[in-house]
Structure formats: structure tokens, C-alpha cells
Structure 1
Amino acid sequence: MLRRMITTGQLLVVDSSGAVSRYGDGGGRMLRIRLADAVVGREIATDPALKLGEAYMDGRLVVEEGDIFDVLSLLRRNGIRRAATPAHKARALMRLVAYQLSARLPINRNRRNVAHHYDLDARLFDLFLDHDWQYSCAYFEPRDISLDEAQTAKKRHVTAKLLLEPGQRVLDVGSGWGGLAMYLAESSGVDVTGITLSEEQLLVSRKRAAERGLADRVRFKLMDYVDVEGAFDRIVSVGMFEHVGLANYGRFFNTMSRVLKKEGVMLLHFIGRVRPAHAINPWIDKYIFPGGYLPALSEVLPAVERAGFLVKDIEMLPMHYAWTLRAWRERFVARWDDAKKIYDERFCRMWEFYLAAMEAAFRHDRLPVIQIQLARHQGAVPFARDYIAEAEARLRAFETTRAPLAPVRF
């Protein structure tokens, strides 16, 4: 499999007997991995999409020169699909069919799926996120700014597109640890309701809002988006849509259309792909984001149109998430011993593999982050995009006067 796949670069594989095999044309940095037992290589070759990550987690695949990102990047640069056998393709198709069937069952797994990831020990996220705990793609504009600056720039960019006015009611769908909701309220004088399905995030976000004196105009609820009632001037959702599931796009946008006022504006920020998926990643689905799906625009826009929305703006942000993931991974690896005290060595390898695999995917699979601005009325958004830069200039001025955020406490 490796010989079919790797035509550039160089990879040395040491098997359990000590024999060394070389792959690639010898160019670039040499990478070296070791297979710790006699059967792990066969397991990976049979089902690489699942077993490669499991072998690394279990310490049965050891990277001796380079790191796991380097290995995954080499595989993606050379084209993983080149080595796919008919058996690999059949297994990928069966998994996609199983996902599609499961997604269409009338069972709401949203809370269970969210808890699997976001209800992990809060101390874990403190090891690698920015000071405001933004767990979504940062906006590196300009490129050389720090992670903290890039996450602030993301909040600024999102806020500018919402065209906020004091006193408006805002719904934040998938409100995380509350950082965006507090930024919206303080920068623009709006009233924000954030909803989440994570009990851990709910506790932290409520505590942060209360400590900042915002509890009267920034509130958080443990609620699924399907249960939202009321009318809102603005809706924002950052990093949540990936968990809605392909079969539920109609329900999601119909709900948003129902609770958004006629003159309202919605901003949706999510990870997408350049074409519909022909498979789902079984390792990510099993260990990191069960039930998650990254959609192509062609899969999203029909549901948008059927819900009566007008698409006012679409912005593609290539590479920004690769840069974000690189920063997260470097920070996590630097705090490895602290993470091991919270969980264990296997968990640390799992988390490193997750961050490395996602970064490699964004660098080599052309995955974009997509921001779609929606409205129900033609005149809800200006006809030129100048307002975005003008709003960002105002928000930068606000940031110079904003009180520093206290460390997240848990």
C-alpha cells in the first residue's frame, strides 16, 4: 500500500523484527516510523482510515523521526486515494450509507454527540485555546498575528457582518464558552441569548457572564436549536453547523427562518468542503465528533433557499483553520505533561492525532471555512461590502477600551 502511495518524499518503516523498508524518492525530510508488533501493519493496511489513528493512540505505531503531523502530511501530499483498494472503497461506501441511514432515523442524538466532545474536562481546553476559549477557526488577518489576536479578529469580522444596533435581540446558536456573546453585547449594546447542549460549557459561560457584569443582557440556556422560540433581530452560529447532520439541514434553516425577524440578518460560520463527501472519516466519527458532517455548499444552499432565505454574502476562508490548528497543536504538545495528569498518555496521543489530522486535511484537501450571510428581506444588508471594513474599524477602537478578559475559571 505504501509503495503505491508514496512517490515523493521519504518514509522509513521499521517493523517489529527490526527490518527497514524505504518509500518515496528520497527527497525532503526523512521520516521514520516503527511498527511495535507483527500484526499492526496488516491492520492498518486493511482499514487505514480507522486503524492508523488507533495504532498511534495505542502506541503500536511510533513516530521516531518527525512527528505525526509530518507523517499524515506526507500521506496526504502523495494522495491517499491512490492506494485505495476495492475493499477500501467498499468499506468507505458502507460507512457512508450507514451514516446516511442513521442520520435519517427520528432519534435526536444531538445532546449525546455534543457531550462526547464538549463535556470533556474544562482544564483540557485551557491547555491550548486562546485566552477567550474560542474553539473555532481564527481569522489570521494579517497572517502574522498571534492566536489571541486572530481569534479577536474572527469575533470582529463576524460582528461586522451582523450589522448590529443597540438594543437588538441576538441568538447565538452553539454559544460555546460565551466569548462571542460577551463580545457582541459589550461592543454593540445588544441583548444576547446563547444556546448550547454542553452542560460544561453552560456552567462556564454563565459564570463568565456573571463575573463580567453581563448576566442581565447575556444569558445562556441548555437548549437544542429545534426548541428555540421567540423573535430575534440577528442570529449567529459559529462552529456548530458541522454537528447538525446532513439530513437535518431543512429543519435547521426552517427553524432559523421562523425565529428571525423579517428585517433580520443571520451569519453562519462553518467548516465545509469543495464537493459532497464520498465517505466519512471513521476515526473522527468514533473518537472525536460522532455524527459530524462537513458539507459542500451544494448540499447547504438548497435548504437555505427552501427556508425562504436570501444569500447576501458568501466568504471562503482557506488555510485559516490550518493555521489555527497548528497553533492549537503546538500549544497542546507544549503542555503534554499537564494533559496527561488530566487524562492519560493514550488520550494525549489521541488528541494530538486529531489536531494533526485536521491540520493535514486543511492543508492538503482544500477544505475551507465558509461564512454565509443570510436575510429574509432584500434591503436588510447594504448592496456593497464597504460596511464590513467600516464596522471593523469601529470595533478595533472599541477593543482598545475594553476591559481585559479574566482567565476562564472552572
Structure 2
Amino acid sequence: MGHYAIKMPDIGEGIAEVELVEWRVKPGDTVAEDQILADVMTDKATVEIPSPVAGTVLELGGKPGVVMAVGAELIRLEVVGAGNLSTKAEKVLAMAAVATPTENSSVIAPARTPAPTHAISASVQSPPKAAPRAVQAPGEKPVGSPAVRQRAWDLGIQLQFVHGSGPAGRITHEDLDAYLVSGGQPRAGAASSGYAQRHGEEVLPLIGLRRKIAQKMQEAKRRIPHFSYVEEIDVTELEALREQLNQRFSSDRGKLTLLPLLARAVVLALRDFPQMNARFDDDAGVVTRYRPVHLGIATQTDNGLLVPVLRHAEALNPWACSEEIARLAEAGRSGKAGRDELSGSTITISSLGPLGGLMTTPVINHPEVAIIGVNKFVERPVFRDGAVVGRKLMNLSSSFDHRVVDGMDAAQFIQAIRKLLETPAMLFVE
């Protein structure tokens, strides 16, 4: 048997380091060739790292959240044959680890034979061979993914009483199954009472996509002097037209939502306000205006906010636009969006859908200079021609980079969008 060290591969596009987001294996696991070992994150996307060989996991190269350089040792396997680590190199590492352990703590020690593990299935009703520890060590904080924490809450399980078998004691779904199978009981009154006392706390490090979001939002607010402009839009005619188009064309073209119509209005308004379709390199002091409209569509996923890019939105009719938005949103939510689909936007639309509230103050997608925020529409009584009538109204809450966009230009830009949306036939006139 030999040892095989798998190093962090070069993902391309000049990426020098990545963040380790999640391990898919643990020491003692047997892995097959091409099996996914870990998820890592670049500046824009999550990438799965497969195993080039089959073997048994001996050592992991770090905990989730650590930033690893390309070429660093990711994981070590025991394999049939000589492996890619020579016997001499193994002996040198072993001698260094034994002779001066404190001075060579960064050297990976020779792999030890892992202790046997016992898989526990949720469908097994008999007690497992080795039940997990009943209580964590004093002061130990339970660590688990958002999905595990939510499931534990739904089951009424207090995580501090569940032994975590994952890296760094991370609690997995299998650990929850084992806790229940071994006789652990949901906390009393978990599902029946909303007044029971709750205790404890969770320390949740920002890793993966959530860390990237935090860094990007901080960078945007730190570097960009935002100002926001809010305008009320009467979308009564727009909604009536949208319903008619869906009745006529939904069977062969698909249904239209408000978003592709708004995207078309933004594209048309940008013809007269090209300074909004731009990116500002404040280090170089250069504003770049773009003729194509690469429209960022802020999309909420289970892991956080992504901004897939609708490329060449100026060339898409509302139905093609709707289809591409749906495709990008699904790719983002499933984690399959590529780097080119998550970068390069020139202006962004942010919408919270029915949760849009009356107004928002959206954060600009740095290094862009403008973002259009869509709020929910409501039907309210308004005066029209001396009579009180019901109209469907919606606010656009938009933010701009005041270093390169003047307040008057921003107001005129939003007014141009308003006119197009309130006279929706103009969206289809060239």
C-alpha cells in the first residue's frame, strides 16, 4: 500500500487560492475514482474537487473556512501500489514529526490507521453498535450546517446533546439519525408549546458564499458613496398587458412575469442614459461605459445572494429574457452556475418579489454605478380625472454611485423607466 497526496488543482483564470467550504468525505472513508472529495469556492463560484484515484482517506488538509493556495495538499489517501509519495519521503516526514514535533507542526505526520467507524441508517430501528456520546464536552459549541440546524429544530433535538462525527465535530444528518435511534428524545414540548424556555447559543463562522457576500457588501459600502432615489410607478396598464400576453402566448412561449418587462424598460432607457450602464475603477480613476447591457439579476438561494448575469439583454425579447432569467436562477440555486454566468454585469436589478416592501435601499454591485430595486405592487385608491379609482402602484428604489452619477441624471433615468412602464406598448416599439 502507498500514500497518495491530492493537491489543490489549478482551477484556471488566474485563481491563486480558494476557500475550503465543505468536506464530502472523512478519515476512514473509502473513495472511488472521480468521487467528489470537497467543495471549494473561488471569488464567484463553488467548485467540486474530484478524486483522481481510488483509496482510503487518511488525512484532511484543513477545516471548512480555511483558505488554501493552489498546489497545497488537500487530502491524503492510502492507495494500492506505490502512490505518489516515495517511501523515503514518508520516512523523512516521520522522523521530522517524531524528532521535533513543536518545530515541524506544519509537516503532515505519517498517516495512522483510522479507527473503525459504524454507519447508521435512519431506517434502521435496532440500536447501533456504538451509540454516540450523550453530551458534548463542557463549553463545546455545536456546529452544523443550516439544513442540519433546521432539521434538528423541526425534530425538537437540542444540538448540544448530539455528538458530531464530521470534521471539527461538525454535526451531520447521520448524527441526528444516530441520536434518535440510540434513544435520544426530542425536547419536551418542542412541537406543542411556543412558550417553553430556550437556552444556549450557536457560533456560526462565515464561510463559503456567505463570507464572499459579506466581503462584497462591505467593500461596496466602504468604497461607494451611495444615494437612493425612489419613484412610484403606476403598473395598472403594464399588468393588464402582461395578462393579455400570457393568455395569448403562454402555451407556446411561456408565461411572462414583471421582471423581463422591467428589464426591457431598463435596456431602452439606457440608450439615453449610457452613463448608468458602466463600471467605475476607482483605483485607476476610470469609468468604462458599455454598449452591451449585461444585466445582473440578484437571486436569493439557500446559501445566500448570487447575481447571475443576463448577457446582451438588449438583444432579447421579453420571452427570451424570461426564459434566460429562469435558467440562470435555477443554475444559481442548484450551485451549477459557472464563473462566466456570475461575473461581468454592467448594471443590476434587485427584486424581493412579493416580499419587496414599500421601499428598499439596495447596495450597488461593485464596481457598477447603478442598481434598480423593485418593490411589490399594491392596489390603492388614487385620483384620476377628478374621480377616485383603484390603481396598481409599485415603487422603484434605486441606488447610484454619487462619484460619477449626478442626482438629476439618476432622477431622469428613473423617470424614463417610469414612462415606459406606464405606457407599456412603448416596450415593443423600435
TM-score by length of 2: 0.24
Larger Rg: 2
The structure whose residues are more often helix, as a share, is 1
The structure whose residues are more often strand, as a share, is 2
